[in-house]
Amino acid sequence: MNTTGYRCYRLTAVCLGLLCVLLLTVITMLWIKLAAQRDQLQTSYTNLTTERDQLQTSYNMLTTERDQLQTSYKTLTIERDQLQTSYNTLTVERDELQTSYTNLTMERDQLQTSYTNLTMERDQIQTSYNTLTVERDQLQSSYKTLTIERDQLQSSYKTLTVERDQLQSSYKTLTVERDQLQSSYKTLTIERDQLQTSYNTLTTFVEHLSKSKDAGVSIGLTDREKEGVWKWVDGSALTTAYWDSGNDFLDSEDCVVNGYSGEENWYDRPCNEPYYWMCEIKFLQ
């Protein structure tokens, strides 16, 4: 029996088994970690989307209010300008009346009746002037209020701009993390495909052995120590056998081969003949 070849084949089988278990464990752990990271990423994205929609709604409301205030401000400005024009006109008329009053004073003795009428008109103009003054003061107060509201709106706009920039920064960070996760996923996919290729190659080789009718596989059973006393490679005794009906049990044939020709297909062959080895391994838990 070729002891060196036997050890080599056995070691190869053990290594392949351990490699398969290790690769399966690594793939499972990577898949679990990737799924957890994907869920966290999805939750963060949903929260960011909700906050963005809320900010957008608040911004739209502020924009609408600002436009309304701007319209009111323009209207008030127009009314103020109209009042200013009227006031200027009244001022000119008042000055003209004052000149007329001076002239009328010089003619007072002659035009007392006209003076009385002019005094009445002056009183009416004074009343109008007082009313215009009150309206101007009210307009001034409204202008101050509008200025304060504009400043508050400007402050809110600046705050909203800062929040928007922070949200943009968070979005960029999230994009970088997503790209890194995508790269890790591609690397894992390549490793999985390489492992699948190795598995397919190994499966094709086992199927080749099972379809071969002339070849056999050594199963690690021998009677080299004592003729007719069959033992496994670990020293345990044979309890159940599946000898081929045509096997002749020659003294020079001390190694058992499985011929793939049926259920009872064991036969002994010389141990120096080359065969594939079939080994039993135990998976570590």
DSSP-assigned letter for residue 252: T
Q: Is it the case that residue 126 has pLDDT exceeding 60?
A: yes
Element (H, E) at 258: strand 255-258
Q: What is the pLDDT of residue 213?
A: 47
3-state DSSP assignment of residue 277: strand
Q: What is the pLDDT of residue 14?
A: 84
Closest to 99 measured CA to CA, from 120, 122, 116: 122
Which phi and psi (to 5°) does residue 236 adopt?
-75, 150
Identify the pLDDT of residue 284: 46
How many CA within 13 A on the CB side of residue 264?
8
| 111-143 burial: b if 16+ Cβ within 10 Å, else e | eeeebeeeeeeeeeeeeeeeeeeeeeeebeeee
Q: How confident is the model at residue 20 (pLDDT cuts 50, 70, 90)?
A: confident
Query: Averaged over 67-78, what is the pLDDT?
Result: 89
- Residue 257 identity (one-letter amino acid): V
What pLDDT is stored for residue 283 in this prediction? 43
The residue among 235, 239, 273, 275 whose CA lies nearest residue 258 is 275
> Tokens 């033992």 label which residue?
231
pLDDT tens figures, 240-270? 999 988 888 888 899 999 876 656 789 899 9
> Given this model, what pLDDT does residue 187 score?
92
- Name residues whose C-beta falls within 8 Å of residue 20's C-beta, 6 or more positions apart in sequence: 199
For the chain, what are the domain ranges? 17-209, 216-285
Nearest Cα neighbor of 146 from 81, 80, 66 is 66
Q: Has domain 216-285 been given CATH number 3.90.226.30?
A: no
Contact 267, 245 (CB under 8 A): no
Mean pLDDT of the residues in the chain: 85
- Going by their DSSP bridges, the two strands 231-232 and 217-222 should be labelled as antiparallel
Percent of the chain at pLDDT > 70 equals 89
Check residue 210 and give its pLDDT: 56
Element (H, E) at 268: strand 266-269
Task: Mark 185-197 as b/e (b = at least 16 C-beta within 10 Å).
Answer: eeebeeeeeebee
Mean pLDDT of 129-144: 90
Per the model's pLDDT, the better-predicted residue between 236 and 116 turns out to be 236
Quick check: 1 pLDDT over 70? no
Beta bridge partners of 237: 231
In this prediction, residue 148 carries a pLDDT of 93
User: pLDDT digit string (tens) for 192-221?
Assistant: 998 888 777 756 658 665 555 446 788 899
